[in-house]
Amino acid sequence: MHAAVITAHDAPPAYGEHPEPVARGEHEMVVDVLAAALHHLTRAKANGTHYSTTGTLPLVPGVDGVVRDSSGRLRYAVLDDTALGTFAERTVIDARRSVVLPDHVDPVRIAAAMNPGMSSWVALRRRITFREGQRVLVLGATGSAGRMAVQIAKRFGAAHVIAAGRDTDRLKTLPALGADRTLTFDEIAAAADVDVVLDFLWGAPAADSMLPILTARADRSAPLTWVQIGSIAGESAPIPSAGLRAARLQIVGSGIGSVPPRDFIAELPELAAAVTEGTIDVQARAVPLARIAQAWNDHRSSERLVLVP
């Protein structure tokens, strides 16, 4: 079979021949891969910068995907840490880490949506106690995950969703998806009275936004939960100590480890249903797996790239 293979952390995958996968465990099955998205997580695990990286090389990347099992059923599957990911014609999945999909779904759309959608979905459902009527700021709302977070926060009953980002053209598209207000980072103090921040950026944008938000709050004793989800802008952020003392701020992370795998798996069916029904708008672009080297560093579009064998 063919697969994309990484042999060095500082080089893109190369497309070529790869040994056929073999199922070994009780719950494992060999499946045909129909679509696997190129996520930020996939790149970070492959280049060794993600905290969950094992460092094993050679590596076939791909952390999830839409597959077809031997009985013909479509599944969305999440892979555990493995050297054989979903950027291949076939792979091995644990059936317990998958959800069966309706026959009529668009594999590319499902593959594009599940990972970025799950980040905010699980944060609001499993990581914090989110209540209908609360106000939400999405920091980094112009990316794929942030764009979906705006929609998911509204779906879960947020009374007011503020979308913040740098790209003013992309910001203009977000009110149609549920954003009640859009802000650039120099306007961020206007989001002072939110209850929850979903932060997909971290780094300097988070550090530079935190104090203006906290000091402008009408009631600094009102709780503010800052959920760190992504780190596109930097792995570390210089948090101002005044922000922790002068307001009732709680910073938590949401991701692999802070949320048990069983909680992620439990949320998969409902998210998959929402994407299938079309109630969550998804931007996706299919790319042949053979073009993985060119696609690997393509960051030009807000569309999620999806590799198809």
pLDDT for 141-161, tens place per residue? 999 999 999 999 999 999 999
Contact 233, 205 (CB under 8 A): yes
Report the percent of the chain where pLDDT is more than 70. Answer: 97
Report the percent of the chain where pLDDT is more than 90. Answer: 83
* Residue 54: pLDDT over 90: no
Instruction: List, by residue range, all CATH 3.40.50.720 domains of the chain.
Output: 129-253
Span 187-202, average pLDDT: 98
Q: Apex CA 205: angle with CA 199 and CA 208, to 5°?
A: 115
Instruction: For tokens 């977070």, name the residue.
Output: 149
Task: Provide long-range contacts, Cβ within 8 A and 24+ apart, for 253-258.
Answer: 253/227, 253/228, 253/229, 254/119, 254/122, 254/123, 254/126, 254/127, 254/128, 254/227, 254/228, 254/229, 255/119, 255/229, 256/51, 256/52, 257/51, 257/52, 258/127
- Which two tokens mark 214? 């906290």
What pTM was estimated for this model as a whole? 0.91
Residue type, 290: A
pLDDT at 169: 95
* Residue 49: pLDDT over 80: no
How many Å apart are CA 46 and CA 226, to the nearest integer?
28
How many Å apart are CA 40 and CA 67, to the nearest integer?
20
* Residue 50: pLDDT over 80: no
pLDDT at 53: 66
Instruction: List, by residue range, all CATH 3.90.180.10 domains of the chain.
Output: 2-115+261-308
**Which CATH number does 129-253 carry?**
3.40.50.720
**Which CATH number does 2-115+261-308 carry?**
3.90.180.10
Average pLDDT score, the chain? 93
- Which two tokens mark 222? 């009102």
Span 175-201, average pLDDT: 97
pLDDT-derived band of residue 122, with 50, 70 and 90 as boundaries? Answer: very high
Of residues 87, 86, 179, 97, the one with CA closest to residue 136: 179
pLDDT digits (tens, 9 = 90+) for 264-302: 999 999 999 999 888 999 999 999 999 999 999 876 666
pLDDT digits (tens, 9 = 90+) for 211-244: 999 999 999 999 999 999 999 899 999 998 888 8
Q: Which distant-in-sequence residues (6+ apart) come within 8 Å of 273 by Cβ?
A: none
